[in-house]
């Protein structure tokens, strides 16, 4: 089963640890955080559970169709957008319990002072593209 | 030589290497490398002929050489004397037994289902890691690790022992249900592997699974329309069913049932055969299907079977009876709401059915199923 681990800059439940955003951390703290993330991905590759990981730039643009022959309308970026996706990891695991376990582990990435940041991660199952054989 | 004929040689060649003294994990790696080499260098053009006269001998020689190279490299890395003899000791033995034991080893109960599937497709199916990774939509490195971990987990397991056929059948059924993936038709591959297994064993459940697969496969083209939409059994164009596969499935099933050792796959195949036997939905023998579901429930005790049985009761004895049967099924089961929607629709409670279809769509776990349920809801609300 594939799951998306969604990392938010903002949004989601109230943070449990009050810490400065990463641009205020010391270079060593930033390095330790990044190393934790990449070690986590390597570990999952070794267990045969890693599918993909991507980070997203914090600023994005909203785009929509504006009628035939017209260029699309853009809006944003919005400094105050409530929910902002920072990136994701996709895993392929045996069970929902395993997905929860891994998400918990990823949420323990170190922040200021090397302490776990207890970040909320959103866990979403992928929908399969296969129809059930049973009729 | 086409790739599938090449693949068929793989389990026997692994068996030869193991009997010459190679451990399973190294033998399997060496054969995989030889297969990749063959796929890269052998011509697809039949007019040019095969580059080798005896592909099996070529595979054995090439993979044995790879194995020796790897073993020597490992030994020199460890600074030890070579312990592997350059001259293979003669070790003739029945290749059929080797292949059968590989099925058991690759489906070993200590492996997770995903690992057992991957290992079976590589060591028994002869697929490359790249093909398996593409079929399951994961990176090749991840799939390679999954396979090596699986091999480490079963290291030390003897290839000489037979296991529980049920574990092998579960793995093959999982592969079958995966359908198409990447450039590999996994359903067809599962049928090939089950056919081969059926030829090696005398187990009615193996025949039962093969019959079940053939009967389902016979309806594959009719199961989706030109736009890729899911078509329910009752609405399928039955002229598009493959009558050849149905006849073969029914014959295999009848032979298996005559052995009088019923199991869950034979019972499931019997249900599929009764569907396949009806020229039109109205001619389906639902009372007999319900009887088979009772049998299946007795064999498995599975709540999913209980759910499907309730739907069949709805057809045999009317939607009210079906809803009553559904009332005894755990409402937390996936597709419980979808079954309830269908039975309410049949009972003429259109508004209630539309709401239930919409609710079922929200908790669907596959895209084709979700889309189907949304269309059902929309159709009832528009009527």
For residue A6, what are the β-bridge partners?
A88, A122
φ, ψ (nearest 5 deg) of residue A83:
-115, 130
Return the percentage of chain A with pLDDT > 90, whole number: 61
Chain A positions touching B176 (Cβ under 8 A) are 133
CA A121 to chain centre: 7
Residues 26-55 of B with CB under 8 A from A: none
Decide: A135 and B234 in contact? Cβ < 8 Å.
Answer: no
Summarised one tens digit per residue, pLDDT across range A86-107 is 899 999 999 999 999 999 999 9
Chain B positions touching A49 (Cβ under 8 A) are 142
Query: Which domains, and CATH codes, for chain A?
Result: 2-125 (3.30.70.1060)
pLDDT classification of A134: cutoffs 50, 70, 90: very low
Task: Give whole-number Cα distances, B66 to B28, B29, B297, in Å.
Answer: 11, 9, 50
Subunit contact B177:A130, Cβ cutoff 8 A: yes
- Spell out the residues 6+ positions from residue B270 whose beta carbon is closer than 8 angstroms to its own: B253, B257, B292, B295
Subunit contact A48:B230, Cβ cutoff 8 A: no
Q: What is the CATH number of domain B297-383?
A: 1.25.40
More confident residue, B379 or A81: B379
Task: Give whole-number Cα distances, B344 to B176, B283, B288, B350, B363, in Å.
Answer: 32, 22, 23, 7, 18
- CA B136 to chain A, closest CA, distance in angstroms equals 10
Task: Give whole-number Cα distances, B159 to A10, B10, B113, B314, B318, in Å.
Answer: 54, 16, 20, 48, 53
| Mean pLDDT for back-to-back runs of 10 residues, chain B (383 residues) | 86 94 95 93 65 87 96 82 51 72 93 96 96 94 96 84 86 90 85 96 96 96 89 94 98 98 98 96 97 97 97 97 97 94 97 97 92 95 81
Residue-level pLDDT at B49:
58
CA B174 to chain centre: 4
Q: Which of B112, B145, B369 sits opposite A132 (nearest CB)?
A: B369
**Secondary structure letter of residue B251 according to DSSP:** H
- Nearest 5°: the CA angle B102, B104, B105 is 65
Which part of chain B has CATH 1.25.40? 297-383
Chain B positions touching A128 (Cβ under 8 A) are 365-367
Lookup result for tokens 């039975």: B343
Residue-level pLDDT at A64:
95
E strands in B165-274: 180-181, 184-185
């Amino acid at each position: 089963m594939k799951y998306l681990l969604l990392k938010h800059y903002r949004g989601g439940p109230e943070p449990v640890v009050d810490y400065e955003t990463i641009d205020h951390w010391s270079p060593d703290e930033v390095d330790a955080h990044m190393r934790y993330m990449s070690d986590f991905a390597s570990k999952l590759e070794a267990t045969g559970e890693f599918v993909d990981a991507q980070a997203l730039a914090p600023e994005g643009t909203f785009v929509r169709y504006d009628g035939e022959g017209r260029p699309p309308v853009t809006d944003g970026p919005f400094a105050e957008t409530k929910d902002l996706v920072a990136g994701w990891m996709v895993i392929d695991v045996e069970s929902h319990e395993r997905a929860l376990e891994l998400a918990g582990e990823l949420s323990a990435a170190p922040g200021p002072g090397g302490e776990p940041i207890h970040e909320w991660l959103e866990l979403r199952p992928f929908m399969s593209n296969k129809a059930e054989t049973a009729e | 030589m086409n790739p599938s004929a090449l693949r068929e040689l793989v389990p026997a060649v692994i068996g030869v290497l193991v009997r010459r003294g190679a451990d399973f994990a190294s033998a399997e790696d060496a054969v995989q490398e030889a297969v990749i080499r063959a796929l890269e260098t052998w011509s697809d053009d039949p007019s040019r002929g095969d580059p080798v006269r005896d592909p099996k001998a070529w595979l054995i020689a090439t993979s044995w050489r790879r194995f020796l190279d790897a073993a020597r490299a490992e030994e020199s890395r460890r600074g030890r004397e070579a312990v592997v003899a350059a001259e293979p000791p003669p070790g003739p033995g029945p290749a059929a037994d080797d292949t059968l034991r590989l099925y058991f080893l690759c489906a070993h109960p200590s492996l997770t289902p995903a690992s057992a599937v991957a290992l079976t497709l590589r060591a028994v199916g002869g697929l490359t890691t790249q093909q398996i990774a593409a079929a399951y939509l994961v990176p090749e490195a991840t799939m390679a690790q999954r396979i090596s971990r699986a091999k480490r987990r079963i290291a030390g397991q003897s290839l000489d022992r037979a296991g529980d056929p049920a574990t092998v059948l579960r793995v093959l059924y999982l592969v079958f249900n995966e359908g198409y993936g990447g450039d590999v038709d996994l359903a067809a591959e599962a049928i090939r592997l089950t056919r081969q297994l059926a030829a090696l064993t005398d187990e009615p459940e193996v025949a039962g699974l093969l019959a079940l697969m053939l009967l389902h496969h016979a309806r594959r083209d009719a199961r989706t329309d030109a736009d890729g939409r899911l078509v329910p059994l009752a609405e399928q164009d039955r002229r598009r069913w493959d009558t050849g596969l149905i006849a073969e499935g029914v014959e295999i099933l009848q032979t298996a049932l005559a052995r009088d050792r019923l199991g869950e796959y034979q019972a499931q195949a019997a249900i599929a055969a009764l569907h396949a036997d009806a020229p039109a939905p109205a001619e389906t023998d639902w009372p007999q299907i319900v009887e088979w579901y009772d049998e299946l429930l007795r064999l498995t005790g599975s709540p999913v079977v209980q759910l499907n049985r309730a739907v069949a009761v709805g057809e045999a004895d009317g939607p009210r009876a079906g809803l009553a049967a559904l009332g005894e099924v755990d409402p937390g089961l996936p597709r419980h709401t979808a079954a309830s929607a269908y039975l309410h629709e049949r009972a003429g409670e259109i508004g209630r059915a539309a709401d239930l279809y919409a609710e079922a769509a929200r908790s669907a776990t596959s895209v084709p199923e979700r889309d189907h349920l949304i269309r059902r809801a929309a159709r009832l609300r528009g009527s």
